[in-house]
Structure 1
């Protein structure tokens, strides 16, 4: 009950701040104050509007907001995100483009489960859609998953990726961004042994912690400093009575958000101060740069406790992927078994989350893969976010990834294509 009370206390604080913002906005917006030429009322209204919106966004899943894609015919084609496989902890979502011939490139985008929704990759999806058929892993908020659905740790996550890859079949290009990079590598290795006919054509790993010790960052330092007992005591709570997952142990999204903001507190404080002043002066808008960024940044999701703790312990502390000793359901995963999946590594020179070298370590583990099927790219000046979104991704990295996919789709020694292994959608 103590953990549940703490969870509900955080939600109460969030709800109270949202209410305070709404009250200040409503109070300062009464027409009668127009008779009093004092800037205090405009500032109060602006503060309330920004505060209400910010705290409300913390419990709202953002929409994909990708409405159309321009086709080769110059016309706008409607985009419809559809759940192709439904699972308790995450869905396989396809972005189906209406009235357009199907593209040859088929891309599975593995989204991170690291505190934000898969919509964090919205711009990545939008940049891929004009030239490819795109699927994405859409992970669910743990607070909304009943305890009766059981656990979900990194082994379950890996098995989900295996099932999704089997469903899509061997003509798929897998792109894993950040946190899922080591697990996507493990899933590919599992397929190499269990179902080689379902292996993807290529695997692109972007800024992921394959070997966290290859280059130290604040994230890896934190993992070494804190014991698992301390981490469980400080970070894990039980979902409160408001949500369907009541009683489930989670790493709460609101707690994660507090950590995110504290890492760059001065910058966030300045951004909100500037936004309030702009709103008071009537210079803001509904979809300005501030709102577009913070609508996504503030929308956080709970992770299951077992997923968060197993990630810290097995990926960062024990380095099971880096040492090639990872297991799924008691079965050893041997990364050297991957011999026919071309692999590309993308890193950012200024990445302070997964520093250069952490993701590159994957190529040393792929001892069974010929050197000509390995590729790497270090993007100068790019930080963590820049290697999958923004100008660095659009102008430099995306064309390289497409070229890598196309080159390896044409390999003469590629295994004969076999039909995709179809898995029926289920809720279990």
Structure 2
């Protein structure tokens, strides 16, 4: 009951802050204060609006918000997210574009289960839709999953990915972002061994911890410092009575959000101070840059306790992926079995979550893969978010990823917007494009 009480206490605190914000907004906006020329009341109302919205977003799943896409005919075509495979802990969602001829390029985007919803990749998916058919793994909030649905750890996650790849077929291009990178690699190796015909055509790994020890960050330092007993005692709670998953052990999204914010506390504090000032001056808006970002960033979901703990223990502490010792459902995964799936890694030079070196380690693990099917890209000046959703992704990385897919797909069908081309070998990693690692005194690259 202790862990359930702390879960409900966090929810009570969130609810109380939302109420305080609403009260301050209503009180400071009372018409009578219009006769009092004092900025305090405007500041009170502005603080209330920002506070109420911020705490309300923490329990609301964002909408995909991808309504139309411009096709080759120059017309806007409606986009409808459709659940193609429904599973207890996550669905395979397809973004169906109405009245548009099918694109030949089929992309499965593996979204992270690291505290945020899959909608965090909204801009990534929107950028791929004009030229491709796109699917995404839409993970469910653990607080809404009954205990009767059973457990869900990194092995189950890997099997989900393997099932989704199997469902989509061998002409699939898989893009994994951040946390699922090592598990998408494991799922591909798993299929390569037991069902080779179900392997995807290409695998693009973006900023993920294949080998966390390759470059230190605050995340890897934390994984080394804390013991599994300490982690379970301090981070794991039971879902309270308000949700359908009552009694399920989880790593609460609110705790994960607190850790996210603490990593860049000064930046977030400045952002909220500036937003409150803008609201007080009357220059704020409903869909300004601050609200667009934080409506997504503050919306968090709970992870199952077994998934969170097994990630820390097996990926970060024991380095089972990096050592090629990962086991899925009693089956030893061997990355050397991957022999025909073209693999590209993408890293950001300023990534402080998964530093350069952690992701490119995947290429060394795939000993059976020819060098002409391996590629890597290090984006100068890019942080973690930028390599999959920011300017770096739009201007530099996305074109390279699509080119890599087409280069390893044989002839591209005329249905795609890209010109047809023959298969060309992917660029082989060399000393010139392999990132050099340097660590500071704080352990951050």
TM-score normalised by L of structure 2:
0.92
CA distance in 1 between counterparts of 2:269 and 2:403 reads: 41
User: Partner of 1:409: helix, strand, or coil?
Assistant: coil
Q: Please list every run of at least 4 consecutive aligned residues from structure 1 whose deviation after the TM superposition is greater than 6 angstroms.
A: 411-414
After TM superposition, the structure 1 = structure 2 runs for residues 296-307 of structure 1, keeping only pairs within 5 Å, are 296-307=296-307
After TM superposition, the structure 1 = structure 2 runs for residues 295-374 of structure 1, keeping only pairs within 5 Å, are 295-374=295-374
User: Partner of 1:368: helix, strand, or coil?
Assistant: coil
CA distance in 2 between counterparts of 1:117 and 1:281 reads: 33
Q: CA RMSD in A?
A: 1.1
Cross-structure match for 1:219: 219
After TM superposition, the structure 1 = structure 2 runs for residues 94-173 of structure 1, keeping only pairs within 5 Å, are 94-173=94-173
Cross-structure match for 2:58: 58
| Deviation per residue, 1:33-85 (Å, 9 max, x gap) | 11111111111111111110000000000001011101111110111011001
5+ residue gaps, structure 2 = 412-421, 425-445
Cross-structure match for 1:181: 181
Q: How far off is 1:186 after superposition?
A: 0.4
User: Partner of 2:408: helix, strand, or coil?
Assistant: helix
Checking the alignment, whether the CA contact within 8 Å between 2:180 and 2:208 is kept in structure 1 is yes
Q: How far off is 1:390 after superposition?
A: 1.3
CA distance in 1 between counterparts of 2:423 and 2:41 reads: 71
Checking the alignment, whether the CA contact within 8 Å between 2:116 and 2:300 is kept in structure 1 is yes
5+ residue gaps, structure 1 = 415-428
Higher relative contact order (CA 8 A, sep 6+): 1
Checking the alignment, whether the CA contact within 8 Å between 2:28 and 2:45 is kept in structure 1 is yes
| Deviation per residue, 1:339-378 (Å, 9 max, x gap) | 0100001111111111111101111111111100111110
Cross-structure match for 2:418: none
Cross-structure match for 2:386: 386
Checking the alignment, whether the CA contact within 8 Å between 2:407 and 2:423 is kept in structure 1 is no
CA distance in 2 between counterparts of 1:25 and 1:413 reads: 60
User: Partner of 2:355: helix, strand, or coil?
Assistant: coil
CA distance in 1 between counterparts of 2:328 and 2:285 reads: 49
Q: How far off is 1:274 after superposition?
A: 0.8
Q: How far off is 1:413 after superposition?
A: 9.5
Q: How far off is 1:256 after superposition?
A: 0.9
CA distance in 2 between counterparts of 1:296 and 1:146 reads: 25
CA change 1:387–1:36 in 2 (3 A) is: same
TM-score normalised by L of structure 1:
0.96
Checking the alignment, whether the CA contact within 8 Å between 2:204 and 2:343 is kept in structure 1 is yes
Question: Structure 1 residue 201 and structure 2 residue 201: aligned?
Answer: yes
Aligned residues: 414
